[in-house]
Amino acid sequence: MYFTLSGEQRQFSASLHGMLTVGDALTSARRWAAGDHEPGLIIWRSLATAGVTGLNVPQEFGGLAADPADLLVACEELGHHALPGPIAESLAVVPHLLAGVVARPGTDAAVADRVGSWLAGLASGQLIATLAAPPLLPFAANADAAGLILIAEAGTLRLAEPAALHPSVNAARTLADVRQAELITEGTAVTAALRTALDLGTIACAAQLLGASRALLEASARHAQHRVQFGRAIGSFQAVKHQLADVLIQLEFARPLLFAAAISLAEKSADAPRDVSAAKVACSRAANLAARAALQVHGAIGYTAEHDVSQWLTLIRSLSLAWGSEAMHKARVLGALTGQSAGGQPLREQPCG
């Protein structure tokens, strides 16, 4: 039993934190939202040097073939710094899908070559990928910054062409309607790889939510220590203390669910769908609480575009809505526990109610 981060994982997290601080990821997100992707892309390239973009890429293509837990450590830090871009798609989902295609015996050599070069591009940071996977992911996120846009649907994996580009509530994020284009491959191998790939994407999203929540809690605590009203720091008032204590509690108890899901995926456990859904529910809930509390503690200043609270708050709002609804994930957990229909199922968006 070893259910805590290793020394190396802590160091990895700390070094990413340093890199993203120096690179000023928060400002890059603002620039990205204003249409200038370059500062953000510079950070993406530096992450590639650190191996982050290749975490889920097989070693023969220059990746690290790392543990899902390492992916989560990275994604949490990326969420902590509100890094823009299709993180879950490019770091988790697409590499897993493409690796599955290459590894499948009987894959056409030309296809394998092409897919292999994409994998190498992902690992080296030259390529950023995104995908749509209806019904869970009806849109391709950040397609305007991706060199590779895919669509996985009805047992096929195809290139995708973006049609309309919609802005998200998170100004650094776009959602593209996409059309199916050239077929890459199809069959049960795609379906099987897609299940795990989407589960990995879901926890990568959940990890970002946790990191963003932590950033908001830290910012709120700092604000509460320094903002003086009625002759005292507002953090001395119980209402403020208790609101932030509740955020801390939710964060601390969401975290183990996230890493348990990583273990289940790594071990290809039958419990993976249950654990992934539990993690998404808990991290989304913690994040939404963190967002509400941060806004309340900051007051009107937190409601401005200029203040960083808005960055994390809108990131949280978009990511907690994406990757499956709360209702769907809870149904998947309960289904797994009762052995009933929704349990253990691949992620799909189900009509609510």
- Helix (H) or strand (E) holding 257, with range, is helix 238-266
Q: Which of 127, 129, 278, 293 binds another protein (CB under 8 A)?
A: 278
Query: CB 72 → another protein: shortest distance, Å?
Result: 10
d(CA 2, CA 154): 39
Give the CA radius of gyration of the chain.
20
Q: Are 249 and 261 in contact (CB under 8 A)?
A: no
d(CA 327, CA 86): 24
Token pair listed for 147 = 């060199």
Residues 147-186 that bind another protein (CB under 8 A): none
Kindly report the backbone phi and psi dihedral angles of residue 173, in degrees, each rounded to the nearest multiple of 5, phi listed first.
Answer: -130, 135
* 11 touching another protein, by CB under 8 A: no
Token pair listed for 158 = 């195809």
Query: CB 167 → another protein: shortest distance, Å?
Result: 31
188 vs 341 by CB, closer to another protein:
341
132 vs 257 by CB, closer to another protein:
257
* 287 touching another protein, by CB under 8 A: no
Q: Are 67 and 266 in contact (CB under 8 A)?
A: yes
x-marked contacts with another protein along 56-85 as a string, rule CB under 8 A:
-----------x-x----------------
Residues in a beta bridge with 149: 130
Q: Which of 225, 303, 304, 305 binds another protein (CB under 8 A)?
A: 225
Q: Of 150, 127, 265, give the one whose Cα is nearest residue 207.
A: 265
* 194 touching another protein, by CB under 8 A: no
- The residue ranges that bind another protein (CB under 8 A) are 1-6, 67, 69, 217, 221, 224-225, 232-233, 235-236, 238, 240-242, 244-246, 248-249, 252-254, 256-257, 259-260, 262-263, 278, 281-282, 326-327, 330-331, 333-334, 337-338, 352-353
